[in-house]
Amino acid sequence: MIAGLSLGARIVLAALVLVEALPAVAQAPAEQAVPLPALVSKADLSPRLKEYTLRTPLLAFRSLGPIPGNPQGETKVRVLLPAGYDPKSASRYPVLYLFHGGGGNQTEWTTPASKGKAEELTEGLPLIVVMPEGGLAGGYADWYNDGAFGPPRWKSYHLDQLIPWIDANFRTIATRTGRATAGLSMGGGGLRYAAMRPELIGATAAFSGDIDILQPASDWNGMGAPISRLIWGDRKMQEVRWRGANGPDLAKNLSNTDVAIFTGDTGRPEGVYILQGSTAMHRRLDEFGIAHGFTVYPGMTHSWPTWNRALAAWLPSLMKHFRTAAATTAPPRTFTFSTIAPDYSLYGWTVRIERKADEFSALEVAGPRAFSIVGSGEALVQTPPLARPDTPLHVRIGSRTITLRTDSEGRLSVRAQIGPANPSQQYAPGGQAIRNGGKTERVPFERVDDGSNFVRVSVRVGGETR
């Protein structure tokens, strides 16, 4: 990333390489097992620093105009190992995924010309640092591509391919308690990753981060709109997709995550929308009572002195978190998870929502035997193991009580009607004129007067039936 150049300016430069996706399905790709990327090459850059070239179809695309594309799906990642790292030893290390900003690449945190000081600042720490490519203006997202979806799929690559590849090839602590994300500017998408996939990531930080993509003055909503339309869709017509990837909208998902936010307050974009977006996230976390760090550096700009200072300030706290969290193996007992995905799994729970339109839903877990589902349509919720296989249990769903049996793994599958399915996409223009009746509940995600109604159904699992 070029210091002093705003995200929007870098997005405009990146607009020269608007991508044409390879043939893709006409709807969002279904969740499925993703194979590991293929290793193409490796280079030793210093005793601690390695660079790998990987190949994945998730990033294979053709370019427009004279700018070459990436038809082979090749991408680079730098890995910074702790001093004395021995792949044959019994030692295992936590991992920090450290993301670059707009217009940058995997080199900027460890290249003198870019002024990133990750190698110096992590000297002596028992920590693996992974610095992948995220595209010139990739947005740390799976691109919408005018409804065609398909590559580039940066989020799926980073979370579903790269993390397993790192865990398979290095001596990592391969749990959320041993994994963190952080990044500068556009790399604030690492914090949004933590909110979208809290079961993978136990700590996160943003340095002048692009946390709130809905900020009115954000370059995504101005000069960068030609790119952001490809990433999330037209801001007006596809607001639900923007909110589904937006920090403040997903803040409550971070209730069991160690969160730190750092920002300057001077110049563009720092004092125009970065500070404002960071503050919006801070306030949203406060609203939900989620402890977090929030640091504003007066007089500091969108530049390497700010980002190096923030990384240096955060690392001691991060390492303390890793030491404390190492004793924790069980998933959180209580949490709330909001998402626009109709199907998802986390912490041993699996949810499938049958509905008519794209919208938020939420799973609110008060314990292994008590949860609520918020949304519209019909939900199928599978719990973690609760009892012996084939055990009959009393289950209260809303106001009625039935008997359900656990499966071969001791899990319970509960089907719940959560109100009439909303007929139109959440936040869509014109939705105010469409009403489906019913009572709208207080929900853990942002709700506007768009005609969408949501119902909360509470479920309590009792004892074994006789």
Nearest Cα neighbor of 46 from 116, 122, 110, 104 is 110
Lowest mean pLDDT among 5-19, 63-77, 85-99, 147-161: 5-19
Average pLDDT over residues 275-290: 97
Q: What is the pTM of this model?
A: 0.91
Residue 1 falls within a domain, yes or no?
A: no
Residue 330 falls inside a structural domain: no
Q: What pLDDT was estimated at residue 449? A: 63
Flag whether 45 is in a domain: yes
pLDDT digits (tens, 9 = 90+) for 330-379: 899 999 999 999 999 999 999 999 999 999 999 999 998 999 999 999 99
Whether residue 11 has pLDDT greater than 70: no
Q: Is residue 66's pLDDT more than 80?
A: no
Query: How large is the average pLDDT for residues 45-61?
Result: 96
* The pair of three-digit structure tokens given for residue 83, joined into one six-digit string: 């001093």
- In DSSP terms, which residues pair with 459 in a beta bridge? 371, 397
The secondary element (H helix, E strand) that includes residue 106 is none
- List helix spans (H) across 233-289: 239-243, 275-287
Please say if the pLDDT value at position 445 is more than 70.
yes
**Any idea of the CA torsion for 403, 406, 412, 414, to the nearest 10 degrees?**
-40
pLDDT tops 80 at residue 246: yes
346 and 258 within one domain: no
- Same domain? For 302 and 366 the reply is no
Q: Judge whether 249 lies within some domain.
A: yes
Rounded average pLDDT over 264-281 = 96
Same domain? 356 vs 290: no
Q: What Å distances lie between residue 419 and 47, 361, 422, 425, CA to CA? A: 59, 12, 9, 16
- Looking at the structure, tell me whether residues 40 and 120 fall in a common domain: yes
Half-sphere exposure (CA, 13 Å, Cβ side) for 329? 1
Structural domain span for residue 34: 7-325
pLDDT at 441 over 90: no
80: in domain: yes
Are 36 and 135 within one domain? yes
Last residue of a domain, one of 261, 292, 325: 325
| 11 vs 192, more confident | 192
1 pLDDT band, cuts 50/70/90, is very low
Higher pLDDT among residues 10 and 133, named by residue = 133
Least confident interval from 55-64, 84-93, 402-411: 55-64
Closest CA to 183 of 317, 338, 314, 79: 314
Q: How confident is the model at residue 187 (pLDDT cuts 50, 70, 90)?
A: very high
pLDDT band at residue 430 under the 50/70/90 scheme: low
Query: For residue 4, what pLDDT band results from cuts at 50, 70 and 90?
Result: very low
Domain co-membership, 241 together with 194: yes
Residue 2 lies in a domain: no
Two structure tokens written together for 40: 């193409």
Is the confidence at residue 18, as pLDDT, over 50?
no
Work out the mean pLDDT of the chain and round it to a whole number. Answer: 89
CB 427 within 8 A of CB 243: yes
Indicate whether 351 and 317 sit together in one domain: no
Q: Which residues contact 143 (CB under 8 A, 6 or more apart)?
A: 19, 21, 149, 150, 151, 152, 153, 154, 230, 231
- The confidence band for 16, taking pLDDT boundaries of 50, 70 and 90, is very low
**Residue that finishes a domain, picked among 260, 295, 325:** 325
- Report whether pLDDT(434) > 90: no
Mean local confidence (pLDDT), 149-158 = 94
Same-domain check for residues 215 and 246:
yes
- How much is the pLDDT for 429? 83
Whether residue 17 has pLDDT greater than 80: no
Q: List beta partners, residue 461.
A: 395
Residues 374-396: what's their mean pLDDT?
96
Answer yes or no: are the C-beta atoms of 353 and 378 closer than 8 Å.
yes
Residue 250 within a domain: yes
Last residue in a domain, options 296, 325, 354: 325
- Identify the CATH number of the domain in which residue 294 sits: 3.40.50.1820
Same structural domain, 127 and 217:
yes
Is residue 284 domain-shared with residue 421, that is, in the same domain?
Answer: no
Between CA 135 and CA 104 the distance in angstroms is 8
* Statement to judge: residues 12 and 121 lie in one domain: yes
Residue 265 pLDDT grade (very low, low, confident, very high; cuts 50, 70, 90): very high
How many domains, the chain? 2
| DSSP one-letter code for 271 | I
* Token pair 């319970």 in the structure block, residue: 412
For residue range 95-152, what is the model confidence (pLDDT) as tens digits? 999 999 998 999 999 988 889 999 999 999 999 999 999 998 999 999 998 888 989 9
Q: Are residues 318 and 339 in the same domain?
A: no
Q: What's the confidence (pLDDT) of residue 97?
A: 98
* Residue carrying structure tokens 């002024």: 115
Domain-embedded: residue 127: yes
How far apart CA 460 and CA 396 sit, in angstroms, is: 5
CA proximity to 413, closest of 380, 461, 369, 448? 380
Q: What percent of the chain has pLDDT over 70?
A: 88
Place of tokens 């790119």: 227
Q: Can you read off the two tokens belonging to residue 346? A: 């986390």
pLDDT at 204 over 70: yes
